[in-house]
């Protein structure tokens, strides 16, 4: 297993948009350094959320079937096509929703900054995507997300593995994300792996403070496969490192009415949510 050899791109580099798009296209992955999310803001998130997951109050925030926001319990989601549920619990944050008191302020700040970063990155793709690909888009990427309130910050907790883990049960089975692009700050522990275009798995470096970006299924569809969706997974920890892992993916979503290909973003999302067990 090798780490992904992806060149980190700095927003101050005039060639950043080109380098970012090239990396997404060739590896499905890109890494941003020198960004404006401070390590202290990431650490603040990892300070407040473990207490939330440790408290039974979380059950009061449990989402109803059909409501995309709030708390989702352990083993409530499976990857598309996977037989078993993932070994994770999570909380879905949208910018319009109220949040549990202890986490609200740091989370809203973090979410807003990450969305700002996501907008910038989609703007980069608008600048450098070739015309023949752009011609097939219903609108530029930045227009797809204009006034969108669907950008989802998922706060994830993977508890230590129980003794009775069944064969095939994993923290997160291999999947492509649903949305346009996903921004991922450093997880609290290693375990995230991504597949390259040749099908080989690579560890995603943990602890760098860099932001990892991957292309999702909506970007792949809208761009007619020009930007391939990155297949990734979270593997189980070795026995001697069996502790909680936290992570904070931000999923950039278009407005539901945006036409991707033969489907709108809203239609595609509904279809996928059924496939992953979030819809009845």
Ligand X SMILES: O=C(O)CCC(=O)C(=O)O
CB of 113 to ligand X, least distance (A): 19
Query: Which residue in the set 153, 156, 252, 276 belongs to the binding site for ligand X (CB under 6 A)?
Result: 156
Residue listed under structure tokens 């936290």: 246
Q: Mask: binding to ligand X, 235-254, rule CB under 6 A, as x and -?
A: ------------x-x-----
Q: Coil, strand, or helix at residue 168?
A: coil
Tokens of 13: 């580099």
The residue whose Cβ lies closest to Fe ion is 177
Out of 35, 92, 151, 154, the only residue in the binding site for ligand X (CB under 6 A) is 154
In this complex, which beta carbon is closest to ligand X, that of residue 145 or of residue 156? Answer: 156
Integer Cα distance of 113 and 122 in angstroms: 15
Measured CA to CA in angstroms, residue 165 lies from 218, 239, 269 at distances of: 33, 12, 30
- Contact pattern for ligand X over residues 176 through 195, marking x by CB under 6 A: -x------x--x----x---
Residue tagged 């600048």 (tokens): 127
232 interacts with ligand X by CB under 6 A: yes
Q: How far is the CB of 40 from ligand X (least distance, A)?
A: 20
Least distance from C-beta 249 to ligand X, angstroms?
A: 5
> Rule CB under 6 A: is residue 234 a binding residue for ligand X?
yes
Whole-angstrom distance, CA of residue 215 vs CA of residue 180: 6
Spatial distance between the Cα atoms of 98 and 104, rounded to a whole number of angstroms? 8
């Amino acid at each position: 297993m090798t780490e992904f050899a992806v060149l980190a791109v700095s927003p101050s580099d005039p060639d950043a948009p080109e380098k970012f798009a090239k990396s997404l296209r060739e590896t499905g992955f890109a890494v941003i350094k020198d960004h404006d999310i401070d390590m202290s803001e990431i650490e603040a998130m990892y300070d407040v959320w473990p207490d939330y997951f440790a408290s039974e109050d979380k059950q009061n925030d449990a989402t109803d079937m059909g409501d995309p926001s709030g708390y989702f319990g352990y083993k409530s989601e499976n990857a598309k096509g996977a037989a078993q549920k993932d070994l994770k619990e999570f909380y879905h944050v949208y910018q319009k929703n109220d949040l549990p008191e202890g986490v609200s302020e740091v989370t809203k700040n973090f979410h807003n900054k990450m969305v700002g970063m996501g907008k910038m990155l989609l703007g980069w793709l608008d600048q450098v995507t070739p015309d023949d690909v752009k011609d097939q888009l219903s609108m530029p990427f930045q227009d797809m997300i204009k006034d969108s309130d669907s950008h989802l910050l998922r706060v994830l907790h993977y508890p230590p593995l129980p003794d009775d883990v069944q064969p095939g049960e994993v923290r997160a089975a291999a999947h492509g994300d649903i949305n346009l692009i996903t921004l991922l700050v450093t997880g609290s522990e290693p375990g995230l792996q991504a597949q390259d275009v040749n099908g080989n798995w690579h560890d995603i470096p943990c602890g760098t403070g860099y932001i990892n970006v991957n292309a999702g299924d909506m970007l792949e569809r809208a761009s007619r496969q020009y930007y391939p969706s990155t297949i990734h997974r979270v593997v189980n920890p070795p026995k001697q490192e069996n502790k909680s892992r936290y992570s904070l993916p931000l999923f950039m979503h278009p407005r539901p009415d945006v036409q991707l290909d033969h489907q709108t973003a809203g239609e595609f999302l509904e279809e996928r949510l059924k496939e992953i067990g979030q819809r009845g």
